[in-house]
Structure 1
Amino acid sequence: MKETMIGVIGGSGLYEIDGLEKATWQAVESPWGTPSDEILTGTLDGVKMAFLPRHGRGHVHSPSTVPYRANIDALKRLGVTDVISVSACGSFREHMAPGDFVIVDQFIDRTFAREKSFFGTGCVAHVSVAHPTCPRLGDACEDAAKAAGITVHRGGTYLAMEGPQFSTLAESKMYRESWGCDVIGMTNMPEAKLAREAELCYASVAMITDYDSWHPDHGEVDVTEIIKTLMGNAEKARGLVAGLPARLGAERADCPHGCDKALEYAILTTPDKRDPALLAKLDAVAGRVLAG
């Protein structure tokens, strides 16, 4: 058994955790750059928590400039075992309405301007992201959402777009009708891929703010309406987060789905060909497998 530490990455509108005991903002240095912000740590109902505002306090990072590698590495360095991503999104489904939450389980990655891996020349690795989220964490998020009175949908495909602009009508219709996506956002990729490389369990909670641009009764995305819904969603998200410690517990066994062993056979570069400089940067992310 290992000690649980829940890491919450807060998206637009969510910038704190209510009721955190011994709450302290602390800077975490990472060889992958400076994280989005300092990380708020403390305990909630006896369980260690860490909170990182994805865009930084004051919303200073666009989806493309979020330092995803530094964020995931910093959480791993702090001892985080389970990452809950909370983010705003648009909906492609009539029954997934603004104000509802979706526990995402699949992604289509259409981002192109971001570093997507900790590995590369000098240490090549390929992890599986066939199932990019952790069902155990998804269960906890679903239960906590229901207990908080949130309308929640279990399962959905998240289209990750580069942004920062919203979709054209043609894109929105294609993602919905041809590609079968359920929600659209700008920040869960490469975050989910990096969490898998760092052997962290990851769950995505998508908070719906709008119907993107496909809906005939809603037209284009209205930023004013989004912000209004965003504030309500943030309050709901704090209720969901408050219910996680009781469901995940202060101690945890190995992940039954293998998230925490994702690198077991992933590194292909032979030991004699590995770049020492890159290995030094991988000390937190891949230390478990590189130490041997």
Structure 2
Amino acid sequence: MTERVLGVIGGSGVYAIEDLDDVERLDFDTPWGAPSDALVRGRLNGVRVIFLARHGVGHRLTPGAINYRANIDALKRAGASDVVSLSACGSLREDLPPGTFVLVDQFVDRTSGREKSFFGPGFVAHVSLAEPVCPGLRGALAQACRAVGVPFADRGTYVCIDGPQFSTRAESRLYRAWGCDVIGMTNMPEVRLAREAELPYASVAMVTDYDCWRETDKAVEVGDVLAVLKANAAAARRLLDRLTRDLGPVRTPSPLGIETVLDHAVITPPEARSPEMIAKLDAVAGRILRGGA
């Protein structure tokens, strides 16, 4: 049996999990730099949980200033077996009002200048992202949403922008024309890096507002978002409580085989790999490095 260690990345409005037992604080300095904050490890309903505040406690980091590689590396290093992302988002659809949780299954990446891979010169790998979200985790989240009465959509496409500014109306209308459902600033490159680290990932995008495509509404303002954030954060705590009860402490592998994705992704043979890159990838790619692949 394999123990489940659920990594939880809390976005805007979710800076802690108050009900954890056996709490300990973990400070990491990864090869990629420091994560957003200390990791908090404990147990929730008997399930080991590792929590990380994406923007840091006190919301100190803009979306572009987050060290996504350090965050995922630290979660992997701390023993996470799965990752659930909680993040605020804007709605691009009339039928996804504020307060709705969207269980994202696809992404469109409109970010620039962010480090999007652990791999690079000296150690090359190409993972598949055709199905970026673990369907097992997403299904468990849907079950938990039903159980606690949170309004949700069981799939959706998330377009990720740089921020920290909100979109123009023209951009918002463009993303709607592309078929995107919600808009946010943080799930990319997070989901890419989780896949490279062989961590099953699922995203809960919590709608705080309609994006500015709705010309009958006033433009998005932080004050309006903050009011919904508080209610969404309370619902997220109920969701996590139920999710851990449903999942239990013993995990089953991802239906996509995410835990072994690097077996079919690494291009550079062992004799050609950079020693410096091998050292930096000791956590992310430790399984294949220890196995000699």
Same fold (TM over 0.5): yes
In structure 2, C-alpha distance between the alignment counterparts of 1:165 and 1:193, rounded to whole Å: 23
Deviates more, 1:117-126 or 1:213-222: 213-222
Q: 1:239 & 1:253 partners in 2: Cα distance?
A: 23
- Structure 1 residues 204-248: Cα deviation after superposition (integer angstroms, max 9, x where no partner): 000001111001332311221111011110111111111121222
Q: Which amino acid aligns with 2:73?
A: D
Counterpart of 2:230? 231
Match of 1:92 in 2: 92
Distance in 2 separating the partners of 1:15 and 1:23: 15
C-alpha contact (below 8 Å) 1:175/1:181 kept by paired residues: yes
- 8 Å Cα contact 2:134-2:255 kept in structure 1: no
Q: For residue 276 of structure 1, report the CA deviation from its aligned partner.
A: 0.5
- Per-residue CA deviation, residues 130-168 of structure 1 (Å, 9 max, x unaligned), is 000001000111111222211010110000001110000
8 Å CA contact 1:18–1:242 kept in 2: the answer is no
- 2:153 alignment counterpart: 153
Letter in 2 for 1:234: A
Q: Deviations over 1:90-109 (max 9, x none)?
A: 00000100011000000000
Counterpart of 1:38 in structure 2 is 38
Instruction: Output the CA distance in 1 between the equivalents of 2:148 and 2:116.
Output: 34
Whether the 8 Å contact between 2:2 and 2:251 is mirrored in structure 1 is yes
Shift of the alpha carbon at 1:252?
A: 1.4
Aligned pairs for 1:1-292 (under 5 A) are 1-177=1-177, 179-291=178-290, 292=292
Aligned residues: 291
Task: Note if contact 2:82-2:200 (Cα within 8 Å) is conserved in structure 1.
Answer: yes
Cα distance in 2 for partners of 1:197, 1:16 equals 26
The TM-score normalised by the length of structure 2 is 0.97
User: Structure 1: which 5+ residue stretches go unaligned?
Assistant: none
Percent of aligned pairs with the same residue? 55
Q: In structure 2, the residue corresponding to 1:43 is in which secondary structure?
A: strand
Amino acid at match of 1:162: D
State the TM-score, normalizing by the size of structure 1.
0.98
The answer for unaligned runs of 5 or more in structure 2 is none
Q: Give, as a single letter, the amino acid of the residue that structure 1 aligns with 2:214.
A: H
4+ residue stretches of structure 1 with deviation over 4 A? none
3-state SS in 2 of match to 1:64: helix
- Kindly provide the CA deviation profile for residues 226-281 of structure 1, in whole angstroms up to 9, marking residues without a partner as x: 11011110111111111121222211132221111111110101211100111011
Aligned mates of 1:202, 1:52 — CA distance in 2 = 14
Distance 2:244 2:279 in 1: 33
Paired residues of 2:20 and 2:42 also in contact (CA < 8 A): yes
User: How far apart are the structure 1 equivalents of 2:19 and 2:223?
Assistant: 30
Q: Which amino acid aligns with 2:180?
A: C
Name the Cα RMSD after superposition: 0.9
